[in-house]
Each structure stands twice: as structure tokens, then as C-alpha cells.
Chain A
Amino acid sequence: MDCQIFRLPKQCIGAGGSGGAASKNTSNVATGGGGGAYSLISNFSVATPGTTQVTYRIGAGGAATSISNGTVAGNVGEDTWFNNTAFPGSGTDNIYCGAKGGQAGAAGALTQNGGAGGVDTSGWGQTRRSGGSGGTASHSSVATGGGGTAGNSSMGGIGVSSSTTNSATNGGQANGSGALGGTGGTSGTNGGDGTEYTTEGSGGGGGGTRQTVNSVVYGGDGGKRGGGGAGSVNYRTAGTPSAESGAGYDGIIIITYTPIIDPTITQNDWRMYVDNSALDPTDPWGSPDLGENSPLTSIPYANDPIDPGDNIRIRITMVVGDAALSASLEGFILQYGEGSSCSAISSWTDVDAISGSGIWRYYDNASITDGTALSSTDPPTAGDLNIGVSDRAGRYVESDPTTTNPYAVAVGEDMEWDFNVQYNGNAEAHTYCFKIRRDTPADLDGYNASSYPQVDTRPGAGDLLRHGNFFTTGIERGIFWAD
């Protein structure tokens, strides 16, 4: 099992740069800032959920700039990142998330390019997109819109460029075709702010503005989040005009988590077989055959209770619940305990290794390879599995922890495993139960009452015919007819 408790897709968006500003000049221009870049990582996990801390930073948008006489460039949008103390640089896995901020818009004599959008390849993520750049201003008194932020499916839209004098343009759309950029201002109006794009969490750049008023004129702010701010131009030459660019919007980190539902595993049905040195044991223990979930008791004698040195194949199923069990996810440990009420046993011991000294240990059958899947196909070929409720093959086991489950198991399906164990004790008339644990180790999520394989060892002379009755583990069993 991995230690991940949540699936965490993270989206990082860099901040938008602000636009430039120009005032009290008829030939200068101002361009919009760039939109923030976008990065996405999935299935992020931490070493110790609930304890491990991560460092992140959400980039601040470029602050608006203002000027009353002359030109001033905008400010860059800051980078946004997650799980590092500094911007992680460039990468394509899910260790970090990082998205570059947009560059500042420019201001000055024509021609001026818009601020560049945050560059995808400079960031860190499994999906990376570039922010849109601000529009290019190639004629006098032009104010262009800021760039839109990038989204999951496309780069940010570019602020609209203009080569027409005294014009203002719209901002770029988020995600290329998402939330609209702000509308460019007409004479006497400010530029509009970029709109919020809630699905991708990004916004379009603000519209530019051009005005001839004796007061402050504003470019539109970048859209929420990460939109580039618009440029602003006030080309009034008399009085006290002023221009203030649109601010870039802050970046954002979006974390979407889906709790992982772990599959539950419950011990279910079982049957004991004679070891036939083949992967598929065909002879159920006892005569007549003991059925599924039928304990190997010392009564009747034909059950053939366990003698010291006997080995026995136990096929056990485990049913999966709540969520599907992926292939190669779980290994198991077989345990034994002594007592005739298996559910009441409080002391369990791992079945020992083949050469171990434990009362129960694994048996080495040279003809069968430990860990072999009980079926070479999935779903299994008819006849490969022996228990009635089985749906998927587990493995043949001579050691633990076992190799992990060979095939995926859907909710409600049983997987069948085959344990070859040997009685290495010499106690007579004792009763043992078996149960499976996870290899973490931890008990399974459940054990059905009849799910414990149960065996009696052969009674000795001292256990026979006490006052006409046979006793084992304190329970009166009747008469044991020895041959």
C-alpha cells in the first residue's frame, strides 16, 4: 500500500503583470501586461499525511503604475509555486507545481510590445500553458489590453494589438477562449476589468484606455486570477492629466482533492486439500471429502486429523469491498491460533518459514514455485479456482509475506489463495484456526464467522475413551474410533 490518502490535482497560475502608463503626450503609447502561466500536477502525495508540511507562494499581481507627465512601465507579476521554498524552475513531474508570472507592460514612444505572458516551459507541471502577452501598440496614443491567463486547455489569449491612432483594445481571453478580456475604453471612459473565469480560475486581461481628460484615466485591471493589467494613455497635453495602468491580478493555487477509498478485504470461504504436487489440488481433504468451510475435526475418524509432519493445502478466498483492489497492491501473511472458537482466539502467530521451528510452518513442495498465480489468465480459466465464490486468482504460497495479488479485484469479487502449510508440532487433540493478515502487518477488515480454516490434530491414547466419551480441547466430542 502506498501512504497516499488523497489524490491532489493542483493548478498553479502565475500573477499578471500590470500595464504601462503614459500621460501628457500625444505620441506615446502604453501596453498591457502579460497574463500568468498555468501549470497542473496530479496525484500529489506527501510522505506523512497530517504531519508533512509544504511551502507555497501565491504570486502577487503587478501593481498599477501611474504618471502625470511622461511614461512609466508596469510591474511584473510574481511567480506562483507549491511544495518548495523558492520557485522550482522547470520540470514536468508532480513533485512541484510552478507557474511564471506575466511580464510588465511597456510605455513610451511607439512601437511598444505588450508584456510577455508567463512562459509555460519555464514552469513546473505535468500540464503547462503560457499566459497571453499584452497587445502591441504600433501607433500613437494607443493603449492595449493585457494578456489573458492560461488555462488547462490553451494558452492565454493575447491582448489585442492596434496600429490605429488614438485607440484602445480589449484584453485577451483566459484559456484562449474562456473568460473575456476587459473591453478597451473609448474616449472618455476607463478600460474594463478582465472577467473572472471560475472553471479554470483564470481571468482575461483588462482593456486599455485612451482619454483626454484633465484627471486620472485608468486602464482595466487584469481578470481574476492572473490576468494582465491594461495599459493606460491620457494624451491631453494641457492642465494636469494623469494615467494609471491596470493592475495585474494575483496568481492562485487550486487544490482539488478526492479522498481515496481503500478497498476492504474480508476473509471468506475456504477448503482444505491434499497436496498433490500440482498447482491445482484436486483432492479435498477427508473421506468423504470435507466441504467448503467444513472444519477438519477429529470426528469422524475418516476426516483424517492432522498428524505431526502432515502438510495440507488450504485454499482461502478474500472478498473485496468499497473500492476495487488494483493488481500488485496487497501481500498477505498467514497466521494460526489455538482454540475451537476461531473468532474468540486472541493470540495469533505467523506461520513460520519452511525451515522454521514454529508449530505451523510453510511446506516446500519442490514441484510448485512459491508465488505462482493460481491462474495464468484473468479472468481465470474455468477449473483453475476451486472455491465456489471465487472470481479472481491469487497465488500459491510457501512463504510470507506473500507476493502481492497478481490481478485486480473488483468490488464484490473474491480472490482465491492457496497456502501449503505443515504441522510441525506434536500436540495431540489440539484445534488450530488460520487467518490471513495484510503484510503491513494489520488484520483484514473482516473475518466472516465461518471463514477460519480449522483443523484438529490427531488425538492420542490419552484423549480416548474417558468414561466412554472422547474429549478434545475441553469439548466432549463423542467416540473416536481408531483403527
Chain B
Amino acid sequence: MFMNIVKSWLIPIIVSISLFLGLRPVFAQIVTPESESNDTLLVGSEVEKNAVMQVYYVSNGEKHFITGSAYANESPDFAGDYITWMGQAVNGNWQVFLYDLSSGTTTQITSSGNNQNPKVSDRGEVVWEGWFFDSWQIFNFDGMKITQLTSGDTSVNPGIEGDYIIYARKDITGTWRSAVYSVSKNRAVDVTTGIASKYPKVRNGKIILGGQGSEKEFGLNADDLFILDLIPLTTTESAGTKEDQATESAEVDNEIPETVTEDDIFEELNATELRSGE
């Protein structure tokens, strides 16, 4: 009797869960990463209930507040059906929240420490900066669990799109470098260095560095994260930034091996040390 239950129920269930967990990231790359259902969604925060800042979204011209707590809720970001924000939920410290438009449910992702600057993907995965061992580190919520992606050097300004998470790190010499992390591959590589790396973005499948008058765009494809061509695809600039760009381009050129393999990349570019679990 017991063996029948194991064969008929437990084994299929375990196999199904394993397949789901294993293949989910692969499926995620096949599915179009951009949700078009809420491209026109607006999110914001303003003084509302309890005379503190509250988060809202606007749909079909109608404003819907999704917070109403006694503490402030601010800095909303959205993608697809998901809105994330931070609220001063624990002794004035900021915590990260996630709202699912399709179900109308709110999830408080963090409940301790200080967490800020959350960004969400259209898969409902959230990245943010968390204060950990006296520095900011990058954390990721994949819908089920929280993973600490960085340790050591200050790591800030995360962004997420599809399978990719991008952020900036500052080493002990004060040099900023941007790094991109693949959720499915569970690995990260540096993109380039320089002050333009401090505010990296991943947008429409490309890495954008700089911004505010000076941007460089780097290619980023699902299949070749670790054979990145680090030469900018395009560069736009404005007055006052040419010198920086020239310097950074030179640095990038020097980092590219002539024959590039995945092993070469990881020898040349120190892979970001990863640490799982909060």
C-alpha cells in the first residue's frame, strides 16, 4: 500500500517539481521578456493616507492606491503586472514590497535590516540594495526565495530585465565597475569600469552605461552572456563627457582577449563572488 502511494503520487510530484524548478529559467528565456499588457501603466507616490507618502498606480485614467500604512511608501517601480516599492515598515528602516496587479496581492519581501532602491522584472522578480555587514549589497527575490548576489565591495543601483540583473560595484581604490548577472546561469561578469558604470541599466536586451547625456550601449544576448563583446554597440555623448568616454573605451579594449572563450572570460574578468542565502 505504502509503495503504491509512493509510486503513484510522491514520485510524480517530486519529478514534476524538479522539472519545474529546473526548466523555469530556460522557459523564461524563450518567453518574450517584455510584457505589453501594462506598457502605459503609471506608478507614483504622493502624500495620502496618514499624511505620509503612499504608492499608487494609474490604470485607465483612474488612480489606485496600493498602500495605506502609517509609514511612508515610496520609490515604486513596475514591469508587466508587478509593482515594487519600499516602505519604512520596521523602525523607520526601509523594506521591499511587491504587488501583483493580476491578483491584487501584496507581498512584503524583506522584514529586517535596511533595504532600498527596488526594481522589478515583468516576471515578478525583484532586485534591491540591502545594508549588510556595513555596506550595500545586491539581493534578488525570484518569487520564492531571496538570494544575496554580492558581498564585499559596495554594490548598488541594481536593474533587472528578463534573465539579467545588472548593478555597480566600487572597489577599494574607488573604481566603479558594472557587472551583469544571469539568473539562469547563476554567474556574473564585469562589463566595464569607470564612472559611467555607476548607474548601469539593462534595457531591451542591452546594457546601457552612463546616461544623462552620455550613454554607451553593450550587446547582451541570452545565449552568449559569457562571451560578451564589450565594445560598445553605440555611443552617444554630450559636452563635457568625451574625455571620460575615451578613457573608458581604451580600458575596455585592453580587457578583450583576442580569442574569446567562456574560460578566457572568467580568467580575464574576475567573476563576481556569489553567495546564496541572506
Query: Complex Cα distance A261/B211, Å?
Result: 14
Query: Complex Cα distance A79/B241, Å?
Result: 40
Binds A, one of B11-19, B67-75, B216-224, B227-235: B67-75
* Cβ of B266 to closest chain A Cβ, rounded Å: 27
Cβ-closest chain B residue relative to A449: B74
In the assembled complex, which residues on chain B have CB atoms less than 8 Å from the CB atom of A324? Answer: 240-241
| Interface residue range, chain A | 35 or more
**Can you add 4 more A-B contacts, CB < 8 Å, to A388-B154, A411-B214, A413-B195?**
A293-B114, A341-B51, A389-B154, A475-B71
**A388 and B170 within 8 A (CB):** yes
Interface residues in A297-354 (C-beta closer than 8 Å to B): 297, 299-300, 321-324, 339-344
Interface string of A275-306 (1 = CB under 8 A from B): 00000000000000101111101011000000
**B172 and A340 within 8 A (CB):** no
Asked if A49 CB lies within 8 Å of chain B CBs, one says: no
Query: Complex Cα distance A84/B51, Å?
Result: 57
Which residues of B approach A to under 8 Å, CB–CB? Answer: 45, 47, 50-53, 70-72, 74-75, 86, 88, 91-94, 113-114, 116-117, 131, 134-136, 154, 156, 170, 172-174, 195-196, 198-199, 210-214, 238-241, 244
In the assembled complex, which residues on chain A have CB atoms less than 8 Å from the CB atom of B116? Answer: 293, 449-450
- Cross-chain pair count, CB within 8 angstroms: 122
In the assembled complex, which residues on chain B have CB atoms less than 8 Å from the CB atom of A120? Answer: none
Known: A261-B213, A412-B195. A292 touches B136 (CB 8 A): yes
In the assembled complex, which residues on chain A have CB atoms less than 8 Å from the CB atom of B214? Answer: 411
Residue among B47, B53, B88, B172 facing the most chain A CB atoms (10 A cut-off):
B88
**B72 and A341 within 8 A (CB):** yes
**B92 and A412 within 8 A (CB):** no
Instruction: Name the contact of B74 in the complex, choosing from A264, A343, A391, A476 (C-beta under 8 A).
Output: A343
In the assembled complex, which residues on chain A have CB atoms less than 8 Å from the CB atom of B195? Answer: 391, 410-413
Query: Complex Cα distance A240/B3, Å?
Result: 131
Interface string of A389-415 (1 = CB under 8 A from B): 101000000000000000000111100
Instruction: Name the contact of A297 in the complex, choosing from B92, B240, B241 (C-beta under 8 A).
Output: B92
Instruction: Name the contact of A412 in the complex, choosing from B72, B114, B212 (C-beta under 8 A).
Output: B212
* Cβ of A343 to closest chain B Cβ, rounded Å: 5
Query: Complex Cα distance A474/B91, Å?
Result: 14
Instruction: Name the contact of A340 in the complex, choosing from B72, B174, B238 (C-beta under 8 A).
Output: B72
Q: Can you pick out 15 interface pairs between chain A and chain B where the beta carbons lie within 8 Å of each other?
A: A261-B238, A292-B131, A292-B136, A293-B94, A295-B88, A295-B91, A340-B92, A341-B51, A343-B53, A343-B74, A344-B51, A382-B173, A388-B154, A449-B72, A456-B92
**A411 and B213 within 8 A (CB):** yes
Known: A291-B131, A391-B195, A412-B210. A340 touches B136 (CB 8 A): no
**B70 and A475 within 8 A (CB):** yes
Q: Which 8 residue pairs spanning A and B have beta carbons closest together?
A: A341-B52, A295-B92, A449-B74, A388-B154, A341-B72, A291-B131, A297-B92, A344-B47
* Cβ of A351 to closest chain B Cβ, rounded Å: 21
Query: Complex Cα distance A313/B245, Å?
Result: 37
Known: A322-B212, A343-B72, A343-B74. A294 touches B136 (CB 8 A): no
Query: Complex Cα distance A344/B45, Å?
Result: 10
**A299 and B91 within 8 A (CB):** yes
Query: Complex Cα distance A197/B241, Å?
Result: 32
Known: A344-B53, A382-B174, A412-B199. A388 touches B71 (CB 8 A): no
In the assembled complex, which residues on chain A have CB atoms less than 8 Å from the CB atom of B240? Answer: 261, 323-324, 411
Query: Complex Cα distance A264/B199, Å?
Result: 15
Query: Complex Cα distance A322/B154, Å?
Result: 24
Cβ-closest chain B residue relative to A454: B92
In the assembled complex, which residues on chain B have CB atoms less than 8 Å from the CB atom of A343? Answer: 45, 47, 53, 72, 74
**B93 and A294 within 8 A (CB):** yes
Interface residues in A73-114 (C-beta closer than 8 Å to B): none
Asked if A379 CB lies within 8 Å of chain B CBs, one says: yes
* Cβ of A171 to closest chain B Cβ, rounded Å: 38
Asked if A198 CB lies within 8 Å of chain B CBs, one says: no
Query: Complex Cα distance A28/B74, Å?
Result: 89
**B131 and A294 within 8 A (CB):** yes
Cβ-closest chain B residue relative to A383: B172
In the assembled complex, which residues on chain A have CB atoms less than 8 Å from the CB atom of B86? Answer: 449-450
**A388 and B70 within 8 A (CB):** no
Residue among A341, A382, A413, A477 facing the most chain B CB atoms (10 A cut-off):
A341
Known: A293-B94, A340-B71. A391 touches B53 (CB 8 A): no
**A261 and B75 within 8 A (CB):** no
Query: Complex Cα distance A454/B174, Å?
Result: 28
Cβ-closest chain A residue relative to B244: A410
* Cβ of B130 to closest chain A Cβ, rounded Å: 10
In the assembled complex, which residues on chain A have CB atoms less than 8 Å from the CB atom of B93? Answer: 294-295
**B174 and A391 within 8 A (CB):** yes
In the assembled complex, which residues on chain B have CB atoms less than 8 Å from the CB atom of A339? Answer: 51
Known: A388-B154, A389-B156, A449-B74. A323 touches B170 (CB 8 A): no
Query: Complex Cα distance A412/B215, Å?
Result: 12
Instruction: Name the contact of A344 in the complex, choosing from B72, B131, B210 (C-beta under 8 A).
Output: B72
Cβ-closest chain A residue relative to B157: A389
**A322 and B213 within 8 A (CB):** yes
In the assembled complex, which residues on chain A have CB atoms less than 8 Å from the CB atom of B114? Answer: 291-294
Query: Complex Cα distance A293/B134, Å?
Result: 12
Asked if A256 CB lies within 8 Å of chain B CBs, one says: no
In the assembled complex, which residues on chain B have CB atoms less than 8 Å from the CB atom of A388? Answer: 135-136, 154, 156, 170
